[in-house]
Structure formats: structure tokens, C-alpha cells
């Protein structure tokens, strides 16, 4: 992979989001909010911070909400303008900054994450690109996780996969990598497997939803047959990429919340509230009260 700047980011958001049913009957998982912004907005901001100006959303035909969210909201803007609500108007206008374009590609059938990424092939062309899974929310006071990875990819020319250590018994929920010794935050990946049982997992280093990938991945995805769960797995195409090009595991700086699970979404909400300028104190008070009340109940 050549050391090019990463300009394009892919957001696969065509999954069914079954873990959040019944809410996800009508609200896509990526539109669930942390405080006042949907998950997709956090991922988009992270991609823009990393230097991306072309955002490719892989949606399904039922997910109008994501496209609507990034579209101009004429009527709402007019109403806010007339009501003199300038602060709110700015918030609505700046979901995407000027100079950033959003492209929507439909994944006709939910055939898996690998298939969703392959749907972006024509838009990406022959350049390295980023993939962000919005339900992995990564919080950091300094540079965002994707910016850290894009800089590292540009410096080394290798593809980058975000990783973090998970409890050994949790390997069955993740792609798991085996690497050479780490040099700083990076270690070259020797093997990658999708959702291995703990007894056969090569490590407890798990893939989380940030990738910087060589465009070679598209050819490999085209040759990938359905794997774990009958889906076309991105992990399987990355396994094939390892044989041809360097792919590094990247231990990003930041805290990741798995907002694809109930407890992860709750944890993220609490952490963002505690870090929020206006909400921090009332949230702390509310939590203390709630815990106190539970404590009283437990003694009954
Ligand atoms: P998940 O494994 O989290 O699946 O997909 P899901 O359907 O979103 O959620 P659950 O498990 O049913 O609750 C990982 C990512 O890949 C995308 C999803 O939108 C999510 O961002 N994806 C998955 C697609 O875009 N297309 C697919 O065919 C499958």
C-alpha cells in the first residue's frame, strides 16, 4: 500500500440491529443518541478529524433516517431562523461541515460486513480508505482513534486494524489477531480469525470497528465466500490480505464503548454525561441518589 493520505471513509450501517429491537424497527441503531447526537455523528466527526472529506454510507433501503439526517432540513431551518433560535440553527446546519460530501450506497441484502464494504468499491477506487463501525464509539481527549491510525498508516504504508485486549472468555464475540512483537502502538498481524472460542483463540487481542485498508481488499472480498454465521466476513478478506501486504494491529489511545449492546450504550451515555459541561454535576447527583435509593431497597 502506498503512503497516501486517507480521504474516504466507509460507514457500514446496513445491519439489522436486532439487539435493539423493538426500537430498531423504525430507528436505525446508528441513530440512537448519546445525549443529543446520534452515534453516526460521533463516527462522522472522527473521520472528518482524521482528514476524510468523502463519507460513504452503506445503507439498506429501509434506512432513510441516516440519509435524512445528513440532508438539508429546509423547513426546520426556516422555523428555527424565524424563531431566532440561532444556536440550534447552527447545530442543525453543521452536521456536515462545508467541503465534506456524503454518498449513499444501498446494500440490497444484509450479506455481512465484508459484503457491505465491497459495496463501496466503485466510490473508493484505487486508494487506501477508512472503515468505521459507528456502534463502536471511541472517546479520547486527544486525537481521535482514526486520526491516530491514519497518521500511522501514512507513515508506514501498512493497513491498520484497531485492536484492544478483551477478557479471554469474550473472544467468541470478536475478530481476534495474532501479531509479531509490538513496536509502540503497532504490531504486524500474523493471523486473524473471526469469533474463535476461547480455547482456540490465538490471543485476546480483539478487532474493534476502525480500519485503514488497502484497496486490494476489494479484489479479496470478491473472492471471499460466506464464512462465520453464513456472512461474507471482512475478517476473512483481511486474512487473505495478510499474505500479500503488511497489515498492522493498532492499539489506539482512547476508551471504546460497544454501543451495539445495551450495557455499552448505557456506559457511553454515563461517561459522556459525566464529561459534559452542563450535565456533569446534575448527572453525578442523580446517580448518587439512584444508587442510594437502590442501597436502601437492598437492605429491606
Ligand atoms: P453487527 O454484527 O453489529 O450486526 O454488524 P447488526 O445487524 O448491526 O446488529 P445486531 O447484531 O443484529 O444487533 C457490524 C456492522 O456491520 C454493519 C452493521 O450495520 C454494523 O455497523 N453491517 C452488517 C452491514 O452494513 N451489512 C451487513 O450485511 C451486516
Residue 293 lies in a domain: no
112 within ligand 1 shell (Cβ under 6 A): yes
**What confidence tier does 4 reach under pLDDT thresholds 50, 70, 90?**
confident
Residue 129 lies in a domain: yes
- DSSP lists the bridge partners of residue 177 as 192, 205
Question: What spacing in Å lies between the alpha carbon of 14 and ligand 1's midpoint?
Answer: 6
Nearest to 185 by CA among 236, 244, 254, 238: 254
Question: What spacing in Å lies between the alpha carbon of 184 and ligand 1's midpoint?
Answer: 31
Q: Does 199 score more than 90 pLDDT?
A: yes
Give pLDDT, residue 298.
59
Question: What spacing in Å lies between the alpha carbon of 116 and ligand 1's midpoint?
Answer: 9
SS (H, E, C) 265-295: HHHHHHHHHHCCCCCHHHHHHHHHHHHHHHH
Question: What spacing in Å lies between the alpha carbon of 15 and ligand 1's midpoint?
Answer: 4
Q: Which among 9, 10, 11, 15 is the best mutation to test ligand 1's pocket, defined by most ligand atoms within 8 Å of the CB?
A: 15
Express each pLDDT in 247-287 by its tens digit: 999 999 999 999 999 999 999 999 999 999 999 999 999 99
Express each pLDDT in 54-100 by its tens digit: 999 999 877 789 999 998 888 999 999 999 999 999 898 888 999 99
Give pLDDT, residue 1.
63
Mean pLDDT of the 161-173 span: 96
Question: What spacing in Å lies between the alpha carbon of 69 and ligand 1's midpoint?
Answer: 19
Give the integer Cα–Cα distance in Å for 233 and 38.
26
14 within ligand 1 shell (Cβ under 6 A): yes
SS (H, E, C) 16-71: CCHHHCCHHHCCCHHHCEECCEEHHHHHHHHHHHCCCCEEEEEECCCCHHHHHHHC
Give the integer Cα–Cα distance in Å for 218 and 1.
13
**Residue bearing cell 503497532:** 186
144: containing domain: 8-260
Residue 136 lies in a domain: yes
Give pLDDT, residue 44.
98
Peptide bond into 22 cis (omega under 30): yes
Residue 19 lies in a domain: yes
Residue with CA nearest ligand 1 atom 9: 17
207 within ligand 1 shell (Cβ under 6 A): no
Mean pLDDT of the 95-121 span: 95
Q: Does 151 score more than 90 pLDDT?
A: yes
Q: Which among 113, 117, 132, 235 is the best mutation to test ligand 1's pocket, defined by most ligand atoms within 8 Å of the CB?
A: 113
Residue 292 lies in a domain: no
Give the integer Cα–Cα distance in Å for 252 and 136.
13
19 within ligand 1 shell (Cβ under 6 A): yes
Which atom of ligand 1 approaches the CA of 107 most closely?
A: 26
pTM score, whole prediction: 0.94
Question: What spacing in Å lies between the alpha carbon of 97 and ligand 1's midpoint?
Answer: 27
Number of folded domains in the chain? 1
Give the integer Cα–Cα distance in Å for 212 and 157.
10
Residue 295 lies in a domain: no
149 within ligand 1 shell (Cβ under 6 A): no
117 within ligand 1 shell (Cβ under 6 A): no
Give pLDDT, residue 296.
64
58 within ligand 1 shell (Cβ under 6 A): yes
The answer to whether 46 and 146 have CB atoms below 8 angstroms apart is yes
Which atom of ligand 1 approaches the CA of 115 most closely?
A: 28
Domain of 246, CATH number, reads 3.90.550.10
Residue 298 lies in a domain: no
Mean pLDDT of the 233-245 span: 96
Q: Does 194 score more than 60 pLDDT?
A: yes
Question: What spacing in Å lies between the alpha carbon of 18 and ligand 1's midpoint?
Answer: 9
Residue 226 lies in a domain: yes
Amino acid at each position: 500500500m502506498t503512503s497516501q493520505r486517507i480521504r474516504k471513509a466507509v460507514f457500514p450501517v446496513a445491519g439489522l440491529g436486532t439487539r435493539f429491537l423493538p426500537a430498531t424497527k423504525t430507528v436505525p441503531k446508528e441513530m440512537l443518541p448519546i445525549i443529543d447526537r446520534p452515534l453516526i455523528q460521533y463516527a462522522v466527526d472522527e473521520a472528518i478529524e482524521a482528514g476524510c472529506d468523502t463519507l460513504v454510507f452503506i445503507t439498506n433501503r429501509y434506512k432513510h433516517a441516516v440519509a435524512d439526517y445528513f440532508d438539508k432540513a429546509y423547513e426546520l431551518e426556516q422555523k428555527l431562523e424565524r424563531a431566532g433560535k440561532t444556536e440550534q440553527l447552527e447545530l442543525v446546519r453543521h452536521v456536515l461541515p462545508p467541503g465534506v460530501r456524503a454518498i449513499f450506497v444501498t446494500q440490497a441484502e444484509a450479506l455481512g460486513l465484508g459484503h457491505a464494504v465491497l459495496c463501496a468499491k466503485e466510490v473508493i477506487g484505487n486508494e487506501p480508505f477508512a472503515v468505521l463501525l459507528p456502534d463502536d464509539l471511541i472517546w479520547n481527549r486527544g486525537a481521535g482513534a482514526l486520526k491516530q491510525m491514519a497518521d500511522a498508516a501514512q507513515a508506514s504504508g501498512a493497513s491498520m486494524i484497531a485492536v484492544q485486549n478483551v477478557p479471554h472468555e469474550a473472544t467468541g464475540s470478536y475478530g481476534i489477531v495474532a501479531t509479531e512483537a509490538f513496536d509502540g502502538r503497532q504490531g504486524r498481524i500474523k493471523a486473524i480469525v473471526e469469533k474463535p472460542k476461547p480455547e482456540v483463540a490465538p490471543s485476546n487481542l480483539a478487532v474493534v470497528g476502525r480500519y485503514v485498508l488497502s484497496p486490494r481488499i476489494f479484489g479479496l472480498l470478491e473472492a471471499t465466500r460466506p464464512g462465520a454465521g453464513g456472512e461474507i466476513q471482512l475478517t476473512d478478506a483481511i486474512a487473505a490480505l495478510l499474505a500479500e501486504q503488511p497489515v498492522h494491529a493498532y492499539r489506539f489511545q482512547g476508551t471504546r464503548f460497544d454501543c451495539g449492546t445495551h450495557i455499552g450504550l448505557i456506559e457511553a451515555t454515563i461517561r459522556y454525561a459525566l464529561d459534559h459541561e452542563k450535565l456533569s454535576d446534575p448527572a453525578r447527583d442523580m446517580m448518587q441518589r439512584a444508587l442510594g435509593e437502590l442501597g436502601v431497597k437492598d437492605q429491606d
